[in-house]
């Protein structure tokens, strides 16, 4: 059993977050936006999800090697959308993975842009593979479309074995201060109105950072709510976003979803609302 309550974590090492699932990201205290690549290891077969930016390549690969993985064991790279913070190191990954079976899994709308990072590896569209990838052991990853949250081809990945949801940009946040791998939101904050700084602690409010990220990076309230519907139907035990912190309890996840659903102005509507109020 993974001790998810252990917050004294060494971010210089890969961190196991579920059975066979590891965070292999870079903890940059000055970054303001933390990116979280994840790797799944199952009976010698390895899948890397949202592999990271160009500058993060050395950190990500070092952590993979520290797990005892030979790069040639990696046979799938999953990219849940096409931004450079998760696709930027793709050419470096391809150069160091001597596996003729290496393939990229994404949506066809993403693959158009992923080809600009590299055209070397075959691209698989999630529709064409039945919205799922199955390991040789039988372990199954399922893919669910979340269009325009935030890209047309965005999707999320669900590990059926551990009930871990890799949620891509959904539940991401800005983290200028006090980032941790596991979200640090005390129950006292659940019924509080989120503000930039917590009125009790005078530190950055993590809930406000999540809401602010979605206001600025999602397409619309309708597309976000569609994605949240998919997630509620899956009922995951652990949510692993590509930005921000892990959500490790159902109670916390429900609270965050409820607060996101209360947001009326998302994306362009948020811009218009601020412009009309003289804030942009």
Element (H, E) at 47: strand 45-49
CA torsion sign for 173, 206, 180, 44 is negative
Q: Where in the chain is the domain with CATH 3.60.15.10?
A: 12-124, 143-280
Which pLDDT value is given to residue 197? Answer: 64
> How confident is the model over 115-140, as pLDDT tens digits?
999 888 999 999 999 999 999 999 99
Q: Which CATH number fits domain 143-280: 3.40.50.300, 3.90.1330.10, 3.60.15.10, 3.40.50.150?
A: 3.60.15.10
Residues whose CB is less than 8 angstroms from the CB of residue 206 and which lie 6 or more positions away in sequence, other chains included: 173, 178, 183, 184, 185, 189, 245
In this prediction, residue 117 carries a pLDDT of: 94
Rg (CA), the chain: 18
Tell me which residue has tokens 């579920």: 18
For domain 12-124, the question of CATH label 3.60.15.10 is answered with yes
Please calculate the CA angle 69-73-77 and round it to the nearest 5 degrees. 105
Task: Write out pLDDT tens, residues 72-111.
Answer: 999 999 999 999 999 999 999 999 998 999 999 999 999 9
pLDDT of residue 189: 75
Which portions of the chain are predicted below pLDDT 50? 1-6
Alpha-carbon distance of 224 to 214, in angstroms, equals 8
Lookup: tokens for 140 = 């199954």
pLDDT score at 238: 98
pLDDT, residue 126, reads 98
HSE-CB for 58 with a 13 A CA cutoff: 1
Report pLDDT for 27: 80
pLDDT of residue 71: 95
pLDDT of residue 1: 34
pLDDT at 7: 55
Q: Residue 164: what are its φ and ψ, rounded to 5°?
A: -95, 130
183 and 206 Cβ atoms separated by less than 8 Å:
yes
Rounded distance between C-alpha atoms, residue 98 and residue 170, angstroms: 33
**Pair of tokens at residue 15:** 């961190």
Please give the structure tokens belonging to residue 25: 């990201």
Angstrom distance (rounded) from CA 207 to CA 194? 6
């Amino acid at each position: 059993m993974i001790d998810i309550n252990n917050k004294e974590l060494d971010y210089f090492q890969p961190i196991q977050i579920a059975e066979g699932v590891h965070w292999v990201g870079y903890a940059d205290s000055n970054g303001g936006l933390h990116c979280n690549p994840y790797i799944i290891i199952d009976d010698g077969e390895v899948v890397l999800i949202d592999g990271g930016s160009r500058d993060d390549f050395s950190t990500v690969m070092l952590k993979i090697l520290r797990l005892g993985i030979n790069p040639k064991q990696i046979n799938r790279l999953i990219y849940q959308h096409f931004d450079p913070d998760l696709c930027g190191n793709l050419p470096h990954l391809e150069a160091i993975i001597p596996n003729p079976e290496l393939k990229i899994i994404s949506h066809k709308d993403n693959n158009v842009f992923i080809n600009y990072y590299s055209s070397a590896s075959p691209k698989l569209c999630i529709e064409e593979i039945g919205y799922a990838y199955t390991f040789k052991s039988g372990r199954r990853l399922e893919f669910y479309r979340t269009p325009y949250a935030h890209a047309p081809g965005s999707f999320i990945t669900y590990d059926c074995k551990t009930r871990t949801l890799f949620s891509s940009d959904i539940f991401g946040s800005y983290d200028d201060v006090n980032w941790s791998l596991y979200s640090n939101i005390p129950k006292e904050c659940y019924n509080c109105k989120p503000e930039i700084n917590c009125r009790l602690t005078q530190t950055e409010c993590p809930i406000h950072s999540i809401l602010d990220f979605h206001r600025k990076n999602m397409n619309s309230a309708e597309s976000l709510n569609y994605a949240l519907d998919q997630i509620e139907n899956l009922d995951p035990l652990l949510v692993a976003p590509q930005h921000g912190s892990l959500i490790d309890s159902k109670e916390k996840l429900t609270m965050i979803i409820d607060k996101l659903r209360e947001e009326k102005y998302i994306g362009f509507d948020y811009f218009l609302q601020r412009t009309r109020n003289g804030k942009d």
